[in-house]
Amino acid sequence: MATYFDEHNCEPTNPEEQYRQNALLELARSLMQGLDIDSGSFDLSDWDQRLPPPAAKAVVQSLPIVIISSEQADKALKCPVCLLEFEEQETVREMPCKHLFHTGCILPWLSKTNSCPLCRLELPTDNPDYEEFKKDKVRLCNISFLSCSVIIHSLYSSVTP
């Protein structure tokens, strides 16, 4: 009966190489759990547990007003909030994601939260702490992705065919 290494056409890893691989895997696990290498932990505050703040007033006021065309009315498009069909020549608000809403439906929504009710695209807020949280979250994702890429590359660059 063939050994595991013969079946998989590979060599057993020497202890030093195994230690390096385990250390890299542990680093990857830590990064994926949101830990920062420099400080030992990465505080994303408690925004993950709370609702986002309302959309910025200036952004809400600048949402384009669109007039429903006859083609759109013929397609029986509905407001995703109240589920009423848009009527020809009716004025509605258009979100940056291109979703359309009755003004009376989307404005109360955006006064409570900063995202599209359909796709959750986030609008800017007037809350500097939340805006910093969003930037930190993007940075953490980028760091984790880059670190994992480096780890994977270093793990497999030493593998010989």
More confident residue, 72 or 150: 72
Which residue type, as a one-letter code, is found at position 108? P
Give tens-digit pLDDT for 22-56: 777 777 776 666 544 444 444 445 545 567 899 99
Query: pLDDT value at position 146?
Result: 62
pLDDT at residue 99, as a whole number: 96
The domain segmentation of the chain, as residue ranges, is 54-110
| Range 54-110 classified under CATH 3.30.70.100 | no
Q: Do 137 and 45 form a contact (C-beta atoms < 8 A)? A: no
Tell me if the pTM is above 0.85. Answer: no
Within 8 A by CB and 6+ apart from 140, the residues are 34, 36, 42, 44
Helix, strand, coil share of the chain (percent; to 5) = 45, 10, 45
pLDDT digits (tens, 9 = 90+) for 99-124: 999 999 999 999 999 999 999 999 99
Q: How much is the pLDDT for 19? A: 73
- Report whether pLDDT(65) > 50: yes
The kind and range of the H/E element at 139 are: helix 128-157
Q: Which residue has the higher pLDDT, 35 or 57?
A: 57
pLDDT on residue 96: 97
